[in-house]
Structure 1
């Protein structure tokens, strides 16, 4: 099963650089579970496209005005949800949280 691990950080702590994920990378890498990893740019330089009543508008800046922002993600392929949660606990320290979300294919089936 594939899971997306979204990494959240309080907006006051941005940019989210310099986290030590060595333990996570070693565990997921050695087990062959790490598929990809992405660090995100500062949300202040993002843009959002929205459609309302058939009109598309583009606004600058982060989509959510919240205290936590997504700063990166890992995609892992684990035997179970419990294993994905176990891996997430290895990187949760120092972050605002790690969201563990199953990935689905275009037919809506878990991958």
Structure 2
């Protein structure tokens, strides 16, 4: 089964970290990524740009509207994601708990759906 592990962050929690702690977070992500590649559970993942760089697209009738962010005053935003393939939800939660972000803000684990609505 495939799962997306969405990394939530907040400017307050990230800005409170020293450069040394930020570097540690990066090293922990690299080590976990290597562990998941070795186990065959890694599918992919990336960090995401700041929400101020995003664009919201809406179609109403035949009118397409693209609006630059930020869109709302939020305390947290999705800062990145992992996609893993593992046997159980419990294993996906175990992986999420190893992510440094689970100690800073939180990580959401969500099953990936196939185009007919079935989980992958």
- Any unmatched runs of 5+ in structure 2? 16-21
Instruction: Check if 1:2 corresponds to 2:2.
Output: yes
Aligned equivalent of 1:89 = 97
Q: What do the CA deviations read for 1:33-87 (whole angstroms, capped 9, x no partner)?
A: 0110111111111110113455332211134431001110000000000000000
TM-score, normalised to structure 2, is: 0.79
SS at match of 1:84: helix
Quote the RMSD (CA, aligned, Å): 1.9
- Any unmatched runs of 5+ in structure 1? none
Aligned residues: 108
TM-score, normalised to structure 1, is: 0.84
In the aligned structure 2, how far is the partner of 1:41 from the partner of 1:7?
Answer: 12
Cα distance change of structure 1 residues 98 and 106 upon mapping to structure 2, 3 Å threshold? same
- Richer in strand (by share): 1
Instruction: Check if 1:74 corresponds to 2:82.
Output: yes
- Richer in helix (by share): 2
